[in-house]
Structure 1
């Protein structure tokens, strides 16, 4: 098939200068190939010009590609290719990115996707957090597993309340912790530029106790600055998740719990405390609030927790 789109300057420029990662470029290209096939299906061939897309013989005039053509393409995917709502949704997202880029670099004068609505698929919000009750069960199991040093307890409490990522926890050092400001400076093992997360008082007190323990002092005396370790070695990605799964099993939690689960749990616990989403976004260090929203559990879980707390208060009052 003649590669009208993939051989065009449009595609070559987009592929060269888009800020997408290589894996995403491949995914987008698969969708653009579908669009290319539709162009061929409609009889387009040769040099592709989105500004002079239609030609009207009667008036000898040209017109740019428009929303109606995109509508026809989406209908083609839906009715002739039996595309799912998910596929339709993604294809619109890919075309929005592609045409938006072309317009931003002035390769096209008119963007047919500029105000194109995408109502084909609503991504399902998956609740990856664990409940307040499950948090307590995990902390209790962690304390039982290590009642003297309380390393596991401190590790779990930190991940639940700060939202630090796996790599950030493993690379955490003493110099990053500011007890005076009640913050942790995140500048090691992180995805973004240096930032801070806040520590609740309970975590601050537990960290002080943990860092003054003889076992930690022995580790520090050997020149180590990492906060967490196992068997005199730095924690690995696999080891920390293995530890979480082991203690989760002991706690009787059937849900798949990983280090990343605790980031979602931090968001949930902050939401439960009626903390504004903008503050939750800062704690998790998300660039966009839309990302933070995906970390928050459905409102029914939030309401159920409130109801449970209210019931607990009522039960206490009935005992008086």
Structure 2
């Protein structure tokens, strides 16, 4: 029999021949790209199954958008590699995901798939671009936010009583901050886990407005200057529970999973004294990998160079 292998009859399928999906490997080059720069995705599909993979399509994608590569039939034991050179968006920031996804028929009545993923974290263009946690809820909708992994949150109404309304400019310790201009339930703070945020300008101090959940948050961050030099700094931010004497602002109550808790909570100002140089970026302290119950986490709502 001759012709296109994908047009040949299927070998009879036997259930006892069930197998693990053939693996797909994915590499991305360069490994640390920048926004607006070219990247090359290379995917390799190896057919480790005892049957041919028919009508195979390999999708390569960046953040879910990409191109299909039609491979046809892939014989048992065969390996196929495809590459795709594309360009990251000029405004790309934060976590960028890369995917290789293979779809194929394994017998007349069934298909299967195999998938590989990779990701890189680009600098965020602003602190708001790095927001990854919703920590503020309205008193009449408590479940839309979760600041600590146990369904607790700051009250929008309690914050308002302290002057912290969406988009408000407030001054603490001689530094002006802009409170997040977000609605309750939307992402309004970043949980510090080593993210890079771009900065510009110069000043004598880089200050943050935030708080800690599940105990004191400690960690080291880095200021990156325009000339390439770096300056490390340390933070130690107390827990939010109670009216702390070192707090910049104390709000009268908070939400917990069962409703309103009339214990005050504290927000703090902390930061680093800067060198007399132009700024390029700040690498936030790596305190945790997100808001998790029982694990200290540092929440940053605002940042200012003064």
Q: TM-score range by the shorter chain?
A: under 0.3
How high is the TM-score relative to the length of structure 2? 0.22
How high is the TM-score relative to the length of structure 1? 0.22
Bigger-Rg structure (1/2): 1
- The structure with the greater share of residues assigned to strand is 2
